[in-house]
């Protein structure tokens, strides 16, 4: 007796890697700048974001996957055409109040790497539906129950039980160590003797161990011996409700009335306390920035919190940046706080994560910063800023700025400027966007410092630079109920 259609389907699913069916492939790591802009855009458009990294955390590397599954159940706008890693069989239960979704993370194969088992629960009974493995940065579908009953045993044995018209099939798979694959081991089934219009009473018993081969007929005793061989040691699984994963990335679940109530976590307890102190002391300023209706066309605003060790003591100072992006510009207003939570420096820049820093420039305690500002179409600036941080002497000065407002290309002579030696009044013009830059070109004499400019460019090309460390992003969405954090 040959395999029938449903048997072949189950068997063939285990002959090929799940890459050929459906898998979360490795994604290329995007630049942090694009990552942040994308997060801001998705958040304010009411969509969610999932992290590209999947370290083996307390959820075995399955946090992103659990987040997407929870979203299927919680977000009615997350329709099947948007699913990335979801086992579509689960969709039929997504809107059922009586059918919850549960997970268990446990090492089933014995290789020290946990698998993820997802289960439904109906009438107090858990019904495993799918087993995932996480290998080489990929989610792999190891076993899928479809409409069958899945039983899991010690030593990585998985049994699928199904039947109809008096027939009952028991198909056994072995989870392979270090690969995530589940290989077909064997299958036994019983069929009524009178099945298919034949005559007779009682049951016939068969076993199959090779796809496409004739099935071996068994005695009743041999049949139950096979079952007893595998069904002797059911594994104990501890089930948990799939919740709290998507809500961490869903603004509607985290919105706070004031910016200091968000509960941002720094990388250390000390840093967490410092950030809370800063947000509390300058709360009104940051909230006003996020909630202001700008007069010029704009797209997004965000408060970006980063850190950098200016003192060289191994403990980072905090930089809070008011960052906005409009249709043709991105500008940040950056405020540096010492370890006491006091604002000691401020400077204007482009994207906060694009700032390049040369430490101990010329002498210890002096930092040279380079950042590019895009003020508007054909209005770009490269700014070189010197920061001195020596004991009680903390200063900031723009030492050179290249401003290119040419529309026709580099061959044009007009609308190209190099400025140096900024006064505070002149520097403040840069905080006012394109209109301020326009005023600057009318009031400040530009210089011919092409050699000095080229010297700085070469310096940053050939010198090892450092960058700020990302800590958090704060957004505001009125529809989501207030201020939210994106880590």
Mean pLDDT value across residues 300-311: 90
Please report which confidence band the pLDDT of residue 235 belongs to, taking 50, 70 and 90 as the band edges.
very high
* pLDDT for res 227: 95
Interatomic CA distance for residues 479 and 452, integer angstroms: 50
Is 215 within a domain? no
293 against 287, higher pLDDT:
287
Number of domains composing the chain: 3
Is 196 within a domain? no
Interatomic CA distance for residues 313 and 336, integer angstroms: 16
Q: Are 343 and 375 contained in the same domain?
A: no
Q: Is the pLDDT of residue 80 over 90?
A: no
5 against 276, higher pLDDT:
276
Mean pLDDT value across residues 69-86: 76
Range of the domain at 69: 5-164+175-183+220-241
Q: Among 338, 353, 368, where does a domain finish?
A: 353
Mean pLDDT value across residues 44-57: 38
Please report which confidence band the pLDDT of residue 92 belongs to, taking 50, 70 and 90 as the band edges.
low
Q: What's the CA angle centered on 40, arms 34 and 44, to 5 degrees?
A: 145
Q: Are 29 and 140 contained in the same domain?
A: yes
Please report which confidence band the pLDDT of residue 328 belongs to, taking 50, 70 and 90 as the band edges.
low
Q: Is the pLDDT of residue 98 over 90?
A: no
Q: What percent of the chain has pLDDT over 90?
A: 33
Interatomic CA distance for residues 359 and 464, integer angstroms: 9
Q: Is the pLDDT of residue 414 over 80?
A: no
Residue at token pair 């940040």:
332
Q: Are 141 and 71 contained in the same domain?
A: yes
Q: Are 227 and 333 contained in the same domain?
A: no
Please report which confidence band the pLDDT of residue 412 belongs to, taking 50, 70 and 90 as the band edges.
low
323 and 304 Cβ atoms separated by less than 8 Å: yes
Tell me the β-bridge partners of 13: none
Q: Is the pLDDT of residue 60 over 80?
A: no
* pLDDT for res 223: 95
Q: CB 467: neighbour CB atoms within 10 A?
A: 14
Q: Is the pLDDT of residue 77 over 80?
A: no
Task: Kindly tell me the burial class for residue 346, based on how many C-beta atoms sit within 10 Å of its own C-beta (0-12, 13-18, 19 or more).
Answer: middle
Please report which confidence band the pLDDT of residue 191 belongs to, taking 50, 70 and 90 as the band edges.
very high
Q: Are 445 and 298 contained in the same domain?
A: no
Q: Is the pLDDT of residue 1 over 70?
A: no
Which contacts (CB < 8 Å, 24+ apart) does range 101-104 have?
101/69, 101/70, 101/73, 101/241, 101/242, 102/126, 102/239, 102/240, 102/241, 102/242, 103/62, 103/66, 103/69, 103/239, 103/240, 103/242, 104/237, 104/238, 104/239, 104/240
Q: Are 24 and 123 contained in the same domain?
A: yes
Q: Which two tokens stand for residue 70?
A: 């929870």
Is 197 within a domain? no
Q: Is the pLDDT of residue 146 over 50?
A: yes
Q: Are 20 and 155 contained in the same domain?
A: yes
Q: Are 348 and 360 contained in the same domain?
A: no
Interatomic CA distance for residues 289 and 283, integer angstroms: 10
Interatomic CA distance for residues 210 and 112, integer angstroms: 30
Bin 103: left if φ > 0, else alpha if -120 < ψ < 50, else beta.
Answer: beta
Cut 0.75: pTM above it: no
Distance of CA 357 to the CA centre of its chain: 27
Q: Are 362 and 287 contained in the same domain?
A: no
Is 160 within a domain? yes
Q: Which residues of 360-392 are buried (b: 16+ CB within 10 A; e: fewer)?
A: ebeeebbbbbbbbbbbbeebbbbbbbbbbbeee
pLDDT (tens digit per residue) in 249-258: 554 445 677 8
Q: Is the pLDDT of residue 330 over 50?
A: yes
Rg (C-alpha) for the chain, rounded Å, is 31
Q: Are 443 and 360 contained in the same domain?
A: yes
Strands 100-106 and 115-122 come out as antiparallel
390 against 413, higher pLDDT:
390
Interatomic CA distance for residues 223 and 207, integer angstroms: 8
Q: Which residues of 188-215 are buried (b: 16+ CB within 10 A; e: fewer)?
A: bbbbeeeeeeeeeeebbbbbbeeeeeeb
Q: Are 294 and 377 contained in the same domain?
A: no
Is 85 within a domain? yes
Q: Are 405 and 451 contained in the same domain?
A: yes
Q: What percent of the chain has pLDDT over 70?
A: 78
Is 251 within a domain? no
Is 126 within a domain? yes
Is 398 within a domain? yes
Q: Is the pLDDT of residue 34 over 50?
A: no
Q: Among 353, 373, 402, where does a domain finish?
A: 353
* pLDDT for res 20: 30
Q: Strand, coil or helix: what is 254?
A: helix
Q: Is the pLDDT of residue 314 over 60?
A: yes
Across 277-291, 407-421, 435-449, which has the greatest mean pLDDT? 277-291
* pLDDT for res 30: 34
What's the mean pLDDT when you consider all of the chain?
Answer: 78
């Amino acid at each position: 007796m040959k395999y029938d259609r449903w048997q072949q389907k189950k068997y063939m699913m285990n002959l090929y890697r799940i890459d050929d069916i459906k898998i979360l492939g490795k994604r290329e790591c995007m630049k942090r700048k694009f990552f942040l802009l994308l997060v801001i855009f998705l958040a304010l458009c009411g969509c969610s974001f999932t992290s590209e990294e999947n370290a083996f955390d307390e959820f075995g590397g399955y946090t992103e996957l659990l987040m997407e599954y929870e979203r299927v159940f919680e977000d009615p706008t997350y329709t099947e055409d948007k699913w990335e890693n979801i086992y579509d069989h689960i969709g039929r239960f997504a809107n059922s109040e009586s059918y919850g979704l549960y997970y268990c993370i446990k090492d089933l194969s014995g290789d020290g790497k946990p698998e993820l088992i997802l289960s439904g629960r109906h009438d107090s009974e858990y019904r495993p539906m799918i087993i995932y493995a996480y290998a080489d940065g990929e989610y792999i579908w190891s076993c899928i129950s479809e409409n069958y009953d899945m039983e899991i045993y010690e030593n990585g044995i998985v049994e699928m039980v199904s039947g109809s018209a008096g027939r009952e099939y028991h198909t056994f798979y072995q989870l392979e160590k270090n690969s995530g694959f589940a290989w077909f081991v064997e299958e036994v089934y019983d069929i009524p003797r009178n099945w298919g219009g034949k005559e007779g009473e009682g049951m016939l018993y068969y076993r199959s161990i090779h796809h496409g081969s004739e099935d071996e007929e068994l005695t009743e005793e041999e049949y139950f011996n096979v079952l007893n061989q595998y069904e002797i040691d059911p594994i104990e699984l501890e089930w948990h409700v799939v919740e709290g994963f998507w809500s961490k990335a869903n603004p509607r679940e985290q919105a706070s009335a004031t910016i200091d109530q968000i509960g941002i976590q720094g990388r250390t307890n000390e840093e967490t306390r410092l950030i809370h102190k800063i947000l509390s002391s300058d709360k009104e300023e940051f909230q006003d920035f996020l909630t202001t209706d700008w007069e010029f066309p704009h797209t997004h605003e965000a408060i970006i919190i980063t850190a950098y060790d200016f003192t060289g003591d191994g403990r980072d100072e905090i930089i809070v940046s008011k960052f906005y992006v409009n249709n043709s510009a991105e500008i940040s207003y950056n405020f540096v706080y010492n370890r006491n939570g006091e604002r000691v420096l401020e400077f204007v820049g482009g994207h906060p994560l694009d700032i390049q820093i040369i430490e101990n420039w010329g002498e210890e305690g002096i930092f040279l910063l380079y950042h590019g500002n895009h003020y508007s179409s054909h209005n770009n600036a490269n700014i070189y800023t010197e920061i001195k941080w020596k004991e009680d002497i903390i200063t900031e000065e723009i030492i050179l700025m290249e401003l290119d407002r040419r529309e026709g290309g580099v061959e044009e002579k007009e609308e190209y400027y190099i400025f140096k030696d900024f006064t505070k009044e002149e520097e403040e013009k840069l905080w006012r966007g394109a209109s301020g830059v326009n005023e600057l070109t009318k009031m400040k004499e530009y210089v011919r410092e092409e050699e000095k400019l080229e010297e700085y460019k070469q310096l940053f090309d050939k010198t090892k630079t450092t960058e700020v460390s990302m800590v958090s992003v704060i957004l505001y969405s009125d529809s989501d109920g207030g201020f939210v954090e994106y880590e």
